[in-house]
Amino acid sequence: MLYYLFEYLDKTLNIPGAGVFQYITFRAFAAIITSLGIAAIWGKSVIYRLQRLQIGEEIRDLGLEGQMAKKGTPTMGGFIILLSLLIPTLLFSKITNVYIVLLVTSAIWLGAVGFADDYIKVFKKNKEGLSGKFKVIGQIGLGIIVGLTMYFNQHIKVREFATDGTFVDHKSLVTTVPFMKDNQFDYNMLLPSFIPDEYVWIVYVLVVIFIITAVSNGANITDGIDGLAAGTSVIIGIALAILAYVSGNKVISQYLNVMFIPNSGELAVFCAAFVGACIGFLWYNAYPAQVFMGDTGSLMLGGVIATLAIVIRKEMLIPVLCGIFLIENLSVIIQVAYFKYTKRKYGEGRRVFLMSPLHHHFQKKNYHESKIVIRFLIVGIILAVLSLVTLKLR
C-alpha cells in the first residue's frame, strides 16, 4: 500500500526522496525491520492472551528429558508469524503483483488449515486434532490454486534472451534443474507422445500438489523441539530471497545465466518479511520456548516455502534447500515402513531409529535440545549455501 502512496508522491507531487520506494532492496529492508518489530513487540501480548485463555500444549509423555516441563506452554503462536508476515507484505510490496497475491493466499490458506487443527486440539480437547484427510484436502486445494494460477494466469511468464540482445516474454512450464549445464526442464517432457501438450497442466498441478503437501508436512514434523522449525525456515527464507531477487533482475540473471522471471523480484520483499517474522518468533520460541507455533505456524511455513520455490522455478532445488524437512519426513516414513515390515515378517515390530522424527532420535541419545537445534541449523546453512552455489556450479 505504501508503495502506491509513495509512487504518487514521487511522480505526481515530485516530493524529494519519495522515489526510494521504487527500490526493491529498500522495501525489503523496511519489510524485515517491520516484521521483526511486530513479532518482537506484539508477540509478548499474544503470549499473554494465550496464557489467559489457557491455550496450552497438551504434552504426551514420550519419555524425553525435560519434555513434561513444557506442559502448559501456549500454542497457536503461529499467529505471531502470520501477522508479522502479512502486515509488512501489504505495506511494502506491490500488492497487485500476481506472485505476491499467490504467496499471501498460500500463507492465509494453510494458516487457516493449521488453525482448525489447533482449535480442535485445544478447545475440543481432541488430541488427534483435524483429521488427516482434511489436512490433505487443504493442501491439495492450495496445490490446485497454485498450479492453475501458474499455468493459466497471463501475467506469469518467463523471458528468453536472444544473442542479439532482444528478448521475448512467453508462457512456459519450464523450470530449473540444479547442477546441470543445460539447466532447464520443460514439464511437457513428462507427457507421453500420444497426449497433446495442452493437457500438460494436469501433470503440472499434480506435481505442485505433491510438492506443497510434502514440504508443509515436513515443516510440520520438524516443529518438534524449540526453535528448530522457525530457525530452519529463516535459513531457507534467506536463500529464497536471494534466488527471487536474482531471478527478477534482468542484468544479474543474464550474467549468471539464470532464468529471468519478470516481476518475480518483488518476492524479495515478501521473503524479507517472512525471514523477519520467523526471527521475531524465535525470540520467544528459542529454548526454553515461551510459545509454540502449533500447526497454525508450521503448516503455513512449509506451504509458503513450497509456493515460493515453485513460482521462481526452483522447485527441483527443494530436496537440497529443504533438506532438513526432507530428512525429518524420511525418518518417519522409514521408521513406520520398517516397523510394519518387521512386524509382518518376525511377529514383532523393530525400529531403525530410537524414535522418529529424527530430532527425537537424538533426544533419546541424551543430546540436549539446544545442541540438536544448533547442529541441524548448521546443516541447514550448508544446504542453503550449496543451493545458492548452483547458480554457477553446473
pLDDT in tens, 20-69: 888 999 999 999 999 999 998 988 888 888 887 766 555 555 556 655 55
Rounded distance between C-alpha atoms, residue 334 and residue 264, angstroms: 37
- Res. 326 pLDDT band, cuts 50 70 90: very high
Q: Whose CA is closest to 389, among 183, 246, 179?
A: 179
Return the half-sphere exposure (C-beta side, CA atoms, 13 A cut-off) of residue 124.
12
Q: Per mean pLDDT, which range of 171-185, 299-313, 345-359 is the poorest?
A: 171-185
The pLDDT of residue 139: 95
Highest mean pLDDT pick, 9-13, 120-124, 214-218: 214-218
In the predicted model, is pLDDT for residue 142 greater than 70? Answer: yes
Separation of alpha carbons 121 and 98, rounded Å? 35
Torsion sign over Cα 277, 283, 285, 287? positive
- Which string of DSSP letters, residue by residue, matches 269-291? HHHHHHHHHHHHHHHHHSSSPS-
Interior angle at CA 391, CA 310 and CA 248, nearest 5: 55
- All residues at 6 or more sequence positions from 119 whose CB lies less than 8 Å from its CB, including other chains: none
| Site of grid cell 529492508 | 29
Task: Quote the cell numbers at residue 373.
Answer: 537445534
The residue-averaged pLDDT of 374-393 equals 93
Question: Which stretches within the chain are classed as H helix?
Answer: 2-11, 24-52, 78-92, 98-123, 132-152, 200-222, 228-247, 250-256, 267-285, 294-311, 318-321, 323-346, 358-364, 369-389
- Total-model pTM: 0.93
What mean pLDDT comes out for the span 64-85? 79
Which residue matches cell numbers 516441563? 69
Closest-CA residue to 80 (of 235, 276, 374, 218): 276
- Average pLDDT on 5-19 reads 79
Cβ distance 359 to 328 under 8 Å? Answer: yes
Select the more confidently predicted residue: 255 or 202.
202
| Residue 348 DSSP symbol | S
Assess whether pLDDT exceeds 80 at residue 235: yes
pLDDT band at 166 (very low <50, low <70, confident <90, very high): low
Q: Which of 339, 304, 340 is nearest to 325 (CA)?
A: 304
What pLDDT score was predicted for residue 60?
Answer: 57
What length does the chain have? 394
Predicted local distance difference test score (pLDDT) of residue 128: 75
Closest CA relative to residue 107, chosen from 90, 124, 131: 90
In this prediction, residue 229 carries a pLDDT of 95
**Cα 190 from Cα 157, distance rounded (Å):** 20
Q: How far apart are CA 158 and CA 160, in angstroms?
A: 7
pLDDT of residue 152: 92
d(CA 287, CA 82): 21
Q: Per mean pLDDT, which range of 187-201, 243-257, 325-339 is the poorest? A: 187-201
Which CB contacts under 8 angstroms, 24+ apart, belong to 350-359? 355/62, 355/64, 356/331, 356/332, 357/221, 357/222, 357/224, 357/328, 357/329, 357/331, 357/332, 358/327, 358/328, 358/331, 359/222, 359/224, 359/225, 359/228, 359/328
d(CA 306, CA 290): 28
What is the chain's mean pLDDT, rounded?
89
pLDDT at 331 > cutoff 90: yes
pLDDT of residue 214: 96
Written as nine digits, the cell of 112 is 487457516
> How many other β-carbons are positioned within 10 Å of the β-carbon of residue 144?
15
Decide which of 364 and 11 is more confident: 364
Does 165 score more than 70 pLDDT? no
Quote the CA–CA distance of 385 and 378 in Å, as a whole number. 11
CA-CA distance, 165 to 114, in Å (whole number)?
48
For helices 24-52 and 267-285, give the axis angle rounded to 10 degrees: 30
Q: Please provide residue 184's backbone torsions phi and psi, each rounded to the nearest 5 degrees.
A: -125, 140
User: Domain ranges in the chain?
Assistant: 2-389
Provide the pLDDT for residue 164.
Answer: 62
Across 284-306, average pLDDT: 93
What pLDDT does residue 64 have? 65
From its phi and psi, is residue 191 left (phi > 0), alpha (psi between -120 and 50) or beta? beta
